[in-house]
A and B are shown apart, each in its own frame.
Chain A
Amino acid sequence: MQNAKDSFYGALRTRLTALNPERTVLLRGALRPGILVEDAEAPFSQLPNDVFVLRWVGLGADVDLGATMVAEECEIVYQTCGTQAFGGLDRGRLLSAMDEEILALLDPFWTQKLNYTVQPAATMLTKVFWDEPVFTPAVTQRDRMGRSVKVMIYSYQEQGE
């Protein structure tokens, strides 16, 4: 299951780098693409702005198939305060830009499954694929606007997983 989660994150990170290389985050002293997995970082007291945060929530499995199918629900959370130059008055526009960006990152709706426990990452036999995203209503907290999008990710368990 971890390989599928890693592959999904890796695909979105690669696509984000190509789509909007200026969306970055300074994390643990390193400048990285502006997308991260919440459970792979130190706990946040406040999620960072202008960054996509992947949060793994639901899990299901169908074990009656030739290969066990695993379904994992990913909640992608993002928020923005707008820019200082506009005094935050552009926060709605920046949230729209992130909406469009995440929609573009999710297409195509599949990626090759990779094993990231080895260096370089090894290509596995199957693909990871996902459903259409479901956007939640925007939430405003003081000067911050955000929303999340839920995506169900599917994969087949391979030998050794």
Chain B
Amino acid sequence: MTQSWFSAPAPVTRRVRAYFAPVNRATQTPVLFDPAEQGTFSLTAPPSPWIDLGWIQHFSRKSTSKSTPLLTGVPAAPLEQVRTTLEAELSFEFSSWTKLTMALSTGAQHMNVLSAASGGTGAADGAPAVSAVTPQTGSTASSIVLAAGDAAQFAAGSLIACDVDYTGQTGFVGAPVAGAYVRQALSDVDYVRRVTFNVALVSAVNAGVLTLAAPLPAGAPASGAKVQALVGFVDREGGTFYQEWSALFVMECAQGERLIFHYPRLQSAAGASESLSALDTKDKGAQQRVSLKAQFVALPVTDPLDGERVLCYRSFLPAANALI
């Protein structure tokens, strides 16, 4: 009789793919991943709101939770164990530099360097910016309609930030992701656009319409949002703000099985650092790849299934026909 199953050895994989989704900082609500409904998603098209950050390198995770035996009797002997701390760490390297990978791998808030207005006083976070412009009716997540005079400030290849003016609010600011926590009112009207994750690349400008290479993460510009050009990004060593994200790491293995590590709450655990690796290790060439090193500490959530506090969910979806 032909065998209809096989005994599967340990999974074999070549690489790990990372997906992140913003935690709602104001309500402390993480994004949960359901392996039953979403476990077999296409790696290039993750379910909303997960954002694909591509392949990562040197993925390593470690439980640092501690257990202590509960001793009883004379002489004392372990009766049972109790978990005294619940901790987990993970680290990896991003292969690309983007707004999101930089933000995730820095320990503090991550800011956009807005295009400077002429004659402004220089500043380490970027000089006072050119005035923001207002999107017109008909703007979408992928195209921004501007007044003719405003559109002239932008060209194909421009980078833009789109968010509301800062008007003295405190607490978490930025949409769709909290980019900073404002403790006391500031004076910079562009502050929200300095920290927002709602950024995009302009691929074309025609008749006052900015066509974006990829949609704005927050969708169509919200009421009150304005658009400003940016030239790059800046982050700092120090500060009090911690990035917090929900994360998903997927290993697609050789027989079609999947290993999925879901951390509902991850906070960056170290300041910004980079890793250099030679492109040509054989001939020891001088060209080196600069990868972003990311280190995180996992924070707990309460699993509604049974009320247990947990840091991470590891799911395994076996290969078809594999003996379990």
Contacts and interface: CB of A to CB of B under 8 A. Distances in A.
Interface of A: 65-67, 69, 109-110, 125-127, 129, 131-132, 154, 156, 158-160
Given A67-B8, A132-B14, A156-B9, 14 more contacts: A66-B8, A66-B9, A109-B14, A125-B3, A125-B4, A125-B5, A125-B320, A127-B255, A129-B255, A154-B254, A156-B6, A158-B6, A159-B2, A159-B6
Contact of B12 (A154, A159, A160): A154
Given A110-B254, A154-B254, A129 B12 contact: yes
Contacts of B254: 110, 127, 129, 154
B7 A67 contact: yes
A96 B57 CA distance: 29
Contacts of A127: 254-256, 319
Contacts of A159: 2-3, 6
A156 to B, nearest CB: 7
Contacts of A126: 6, 255, 319, 321
Q: Which 6 A-B pairs have the closest CB atoms?
A: A66-B7, A65-B9, A129-B254, A159-B3, A125-B321, A125-B6
Contacts, number: 43
A69 B9 contact: yes
13 contacts: A66-B7, A66-B323, A67-B6, A69-B9, A109-B14, A125-B5, A126-B6, A126-B321, A129-B254, A131-B14, A132-B14, A159-B3, A160-B2
Contacts of A129: 12, 254-255
Interface string B6-38: 111110101000000000000000000000000
A131 B256 CA distance: 16
B9 to A, nearest CB: 4
Contacts of B7: 66-67
A158 B3 contact: yes
